[in-house]
Structure 1
């Protein structure tokens, strides 16, 4: 039997510009699956593991900046979406999550694959919608259309995010041989018309007066996509000495004019007082550097956040203004009306240049390990590659190493290790450019089902840092001092990616010293019909010693007068 409101829902998705759906197999969801799979304007892929499927959809929506549909069957399948949905919520990525469900009369009746799915994702979606369970009255079809319109509009409005449509379905689920799908050419569609928030003249006067009170100004962009216009105006501000621009690798706004090596010096007590700001201006989402967060909190500087609308957290414990306009329009205004203290700007740039001039020579003298290997790999990654960083040490190493020309992507919404592989795979589905995933062994093996599908991803390159443990715990004072470190925190493992490469048809190279690493990198980005893995095997205790040695040497160079 064909349910026309389901067909209409898919037609409305297409009319609103949705082009991609990630489907996970199941019987209860068959009417939804078939409606998406047969629509000529929607590219549907099937991924069996719902947890991977959701992160793959997230990786696609992250790049496309448009909603991607997820479809799964009833029961625990829906719960397997939860980690990616939470990540999408906090990273503000639009997903249309459609779950099939038992009809209401069969909930809590010990029927198979039945759980309480209504509002299952709680506060981690922008909205939860319950589709009608029958269409006996014409108003039910109107209601279904209204729900679909509202859900897609909500996911696509700032801040973007996931929405959930739960659809109760009764048997029969499959169309008869003679039944044909008929997608309507005209369907009721309503859409919001977005405005462009700008500062009023009155607001500009007040802000201009407020700015005269500050002369030690830091601009701290958070995680966001690359933006040429914002990059250009930030460079102008820096060159004119209007403010100090501090950029994490996740900001995608690093340049030779910004402070990129801050992680190496903001935590040094001897220099920190000279760096204290009196005003912090932020926009975008979170930053990666814990040292920078602690430094900014300790400074007790006034904090202004720029955002067109939506919730704003008090990250630095001193939020005093939420300025509702686009970051670009505020920075354009700021360029005309601010001036930082010259000695303040000079001190930041002096420390930046010292680290920049010493870090690579220090790394050359270091023993081989993750840190040195990552520095070597970054020199070989093409500028047009998208670079996905797994959480834990991968993202931190890259943040230590300064300006990157590539787009940097990392799941810092919840900062979990789950889903890094799958998110990179989703990204690879959206582009022909190389996609590079830099990951640790725990994150990599945790998400191996990312590759369990039948779709080409020959542009995917994986740099795997395998120290056979969760090495970050050796760098945290608490667990590092415990006798249970290796068994209960690092959770040591013996796995190698060689077998996985055979299972999934990857090209594979193992490196365990500088020479074998250079050999592995030589043709790593050469075109191939297969994805590639470069596994870099190191020792966890040795990596911790190297990191501490490099940090110590950099600190010495900064304090050496």
Structure 2
């Protein structure tokens, strides 16, 4: 084994391993060579080499989503570090422990006209849990100071589930090597204080809950959780409770509203006011549906409790009255002891609405021509059991919200900042760390924007990309506003004639393309069973997708 002779690198590596942080995604460079050689050599470290730093950070995020442990992204100095920022901000708002480790020039070289040199200290300060700016001091005192900062950063990443940044200045030489690690760094373990729910506040809220006949639980993005699913099952035994949840919530129940926009998009404010909740509990991360956010802000519940494991006060509808700093499973475990069902027709009224809209949905889809909407119905019906399904942002995740999804599938989407950048990289990172097959459904703009994600040596053979190519940002043809300007084609939708065929060939993907429904149905019979990564491109650019979607929502009225 060959390890860097720099003691701080040896200390850092040993502390990472001691805290069971073993996945490192490395982007090549010279100044981070001490880190690269040590991570690559250490028997407990699993290294990956990803050239594009922006992709590398999102690959790291995808691995985190699967292993539910911190992952390191490591880069050289200069602008390389700034390419991590999109993934850092996404990790910040997803509460994912992405650990950024950057090499830097010595402090006296900053702003002195040296190459690959920028002001790296605290560069992520607005979207980071902690910034550890190490010093270049190999003395015993200097080493202990750096080890304390490293421990603090990693403990915050683990406990608060936030990204952290460790910045390390290195002077040459970078390639001094030793046969073994010669340091025994201090490992600072931190036992978090488990916050106990305020019994009085919980009891007060439960009393309000118990007398209400119209209760709503709205669930945003969450990982798949067996206990929480069981708690939702129990909650829905109460006829005064309705649960609205999004595709990304990974919750399923026949008595829940799983397609929020399908159910409420055509509702007038007057009709929603009749079924608005008296009391509301929100759980999970960002809500996708703009309609439910608008209606709950326009017609707020009298009481609104948010379950916030990180303690952040999120008042999306300007109606928050209670903020419970705890995990959702712990909240409901204690809440159920204080609650009792209430006779009501509230759940029934919502379920009747769901049934009505689903029948209209199915009638429209049965007659729908080949289009983005029909493609989604067809693809989702053919997905295998027990896979991981990643969805890109913009139109893709919103189309998915309109359909009933397979309860054996776990759904992922980067809804922290909801950008189109990094979706493919995240899906590949997740696939690398998953024992299950990963399928990624993406739009064309998002796919081509992140095409460097395909440039790696780790993509599993059963990874499948389903690319919906409608020739531009179709969402801008649907939402109000852009079509009233002269800039729709070139500046909003950014229409194009690109195809993924040559990218697929270059990166070794099995490629096929379809332009009609029969071909799609035939391809879906075997696209999930190839023995190499597969890319299925579905071309709908000659279809009036926005018009069909408008007609669909009109048909739901």
Q: Is TM > 0.5 for Structure 1 vs Structure 2?
A: yes
The correspondence for 1:28, drawn from 17, 27, 31, is 31
Looking at structure 1, the residues matched to 132 and 201 of structure 2 have their Cα atoms a distance apart, in angstroms, of 39
1:170 is matched with 171
Q: Aligned-pair distance for 1:531?
A: 0.5
Cα gap change, 1:5 to 1:519, in 2 (>3 Å): same
TM-score between the two structures when normalised by the length of structure 2: 0.95
Q: Aligned-pair distance for 1:266?
A: 2.3
Looking at structure 1, the residues matched to 82 and 316 of structure 2 have their Cα atoms a distance apart, in angstroms, of 30
Looking at structure 1, the residues matched to 176 and 6 of structure 2 have their Cα atoms a distance apart, in angstroms, of 9
Q: Judge conservation of contact 1:440–1:466 (CA < 8 Å) in 2.
A: yes
1:554 is matched with 556
Q: Aligned-pair distance for 1:541?
A: 5.9
Q: Judge conservation of contact 2:428–2:459 (CA < 8 Å) in 1.
A: no
1:364 is matched with 366
Q: Aligned-pair distance for 1:448?
A: 0.5
Q: Does residue 187 of structure 2 align to residue 189 of structure 1?
A: yes
> Any unmatched runs of 5+ in structure 1?
556-561
Looking at structure 2, the residues matched to 389 and 540 of structure 1 have their Cα atoms a distance apart, in angstroms, of 23
Cα gap change, 1:308 to 1:18, in 2 (>3 Å): same
Q: Judge conservation of contact 2:311–2:326 (CA < 8 Å) in 1.
A: no
Q: Judge conservation of contact 1:265–1:271 (CA < 8 Å) in 2.
A: no
Looking at structure 2, the residues matched to 109 and 340 of structure 1 have their Cα atoms a distance apart, in angstroms, of 71
Q: Does residue 89 of structure 2 align to residue 86 of structure 1?
A: yes
Q: Aligned-pair distance for 1:298?
A: 1.2
Cα gap change, 1:456 to 1:402, in 2 (>3 Å): closer
* CA offsets 1:454-507 (integer angstroms, 9 cap, x no match): 224212111101011100000111102222210111011111011111000000
Looking at structure 1, the residues matched to 314 and 273 of structure 2 have their Cα atoms a distance apart, in angstroms, of 26
Q: Aligned-pair distance for 1:367?
A: 1.1
Q: Aligned-pair distance for 1:395?
A: 0.2
Looking at structure 1, the residues matched to 212 and 248 of structure 2 have their Cα atoms a distance apart, in angstroms, of 27
What SS is found at the alignment partner of 1:429? helix
* CA offsets 1:239-295 (integer angstroms, 9 cap, x no match): 232411101111111221211122123241163122111111012111111111111
Looking at structure 1, the residues matched to 343 and 394 of structure 2 have their Cα atoms a distance apart, in angstroms, of 37
What SS is found at the alignment partner of 1:342? coil
The worse-fitting range, judged by mean Cα deviation, of 320-329 and 507-516 is: 320-329
The correspondence for 1:95, drawn from 93, 98, 119, is 98
TM-score between the two structures when normalised by the length of structure 1: 0.95
Looking at structure 1, the residues matched to 550 and 441 of structure 2 have their Cα atoms a distance apart, in angstroms, of 21
1:558 is matched with none
Looking at structure 2, the residues matched to 230 and 261 of structure 1 have their Cα atoms a distance apart, in angstroms, of 19
The correspondence for 1:418, drawn from 416, 421, 439, is 421
2:500 is matched with 497
Q: Judge conservation of contact 1:471–1:540 (CA < 8 Å) in 2.
A: no
* CA offsets 1:43-94 (integer angstroms, 9 cap, x no match): 0011000000000001001111110001100000000111011100011110
Aligned length: 549
1:210 is matched with 208
Q: Judge conservation of contact 2:239–2:346 (CA < 8 Å) in 1.
A: no
Please give the residue correspondences for 1:3-42 in structure 2 after superposition, counting only pairs within 5 Å. 3-42=6-45
2:533 is matched with 531
* CA offsets 1:358-398 (integer angstroms, 9 cap, x no match): 42332120111011111111111122111110001110000
Please give the residue correspondences for 1:65-464 in structure 2 after superposition, counting only pairs within 5 Å. 65-135=68-138, 137-158=139-160, 160-175=161-176, 179-182=178-181, 184=183, 186-267=184-265, 268-269=267-268, 271-301=271-301, 302-336=303-337, 337-340=339-342, 342-405=344-407, 406-464=409-467
What SS is found at the alignment partner of 2:282? strand
* CA offsets 1:159-209 (integer angstroms, 9 cap, x no match): x11100111100000025xx323165x542122223444435444432333
Q: Aligned-pair distance for 1:299?
A: 1.4
Runs of 4 or more above 4 Å deviation: none
Please give the residue correspondences for 1:38-49 in structure 2 after superposition, counting only pairs within 5 Å. 38-49=41-52
Q: Judge conservation of contact 2:55–2:453 (CA < 8 Å) in 1.
A: yes
Looking at structure 2, the residues matched to 129 and 423 of structure 1 have their Cα atoms a distance apart, in angstroms, of 26
